[in-house]
Amino acid sequence: MALKATVFKVNLQIADMDRGYYQDHQLTLAQHPSETDGRMMIRLLAFIINASESLSFSKGLCVDDEPELWDKDLSGVIDLWVEFGQSDEKWLRKACGRAKRVQLFAYGGRSVPIWWKQHEAVFERYQNLKVWNIDEASVEAMQVFVARTMALQVSISEGQIWLSDASNSVLVEPQVLKAAEFD
């Protein structure tokens, strides 16, 4: 018998001073049985950084032809394609060809600099690609919020992201490894 996804309900209050975006979002996150809490929180962080009314989680891990997080316009054109982990060039080339903007959220601690050194030169040719690094300490710190029902307040200013709930507060400072022309 196959294991089923665990469902998490998230109430986000986002105050993004960098973009002038202030909005509440009620999200449902499905955590695949093979997905760690840390990876799920990175997906949530990616949503926070790119929050909009049309940003949504797709079927993700279950579908090979879709990103896990995307923003599509009303005509179906993919404005933003978001990937996670240490993707290879072939997959990102496909994403860059299908979407106006592509973001990759890399994580994995000490393996990220090694992966980045191997791929940096190749990724430079993609003008619509932005690569972020989420350090291991931030991934671990965000896991304090993991609960089946989460209510988080988020404040973003000058690239610093503060997440808090009724009893915890965490600072996350994602590092941009590669900027894109849309920045």
pTM: 0.94
Which tokens go with 177?
């490894």
* DSSP 8-state assignment for residue 32: -
Q: What is the CATH number of the domain that holds 38?
A: 3.10.640.10
Strand duo 99-106 + 78-84: pairing:
parallel
Task: Please report whether residue 1 resides in a domain.
Answer: no
CA distances, 150 to each of 13, 106, 117, 156 (Å): 11, 24, 36, 19
Q: Is residue 125 included in any domain, yes or no? A: yes
Read off the pLDDT of each residue in 3-27 and give the average, rounded to a whole number: 96
User: What is the residue range of 99's domain?
Assistant: 6-178
CB contact set of 104 (below 8 Å; sequence gap of 6+):
82, 83, 84, 87, 92, 129, 130, 131, 132
Over residues 109-163, the pLDDT tens digits come to 999 999 999 999 999 999 999 999 999 999 999 999 999 999 999 999 999 999 9
Q: What domain count does the chain have?
A: 1
Q: What is the spatial distance between Cα 141 and Cα 80, in angstroms, rounded to a whole number?
A: 27
Residue 166, phi-psi category: left (phi > 0), alpha (psi -120 to 50), beta (remainder): alpha
Q: Mean pLDDT of all residues in the chain? A: 94
Burial bucket for residue 100 (CB in 10 Å: 0-12, 13-18, 19+)? middle
Asked whether residue 105 is domain-assigned, the answer is: yes
Band of pLDDT at residue 1, cut at 50, 70 and 90 = low
In a domain, 18, yes or no: yes
- The residue whose two tokens read 């988080």 is 152
106 three-state secondary structure: strand
93 found inside a domain: yes
pLDDT single digits (tens) 94-110? 999 999 999 999 999 99
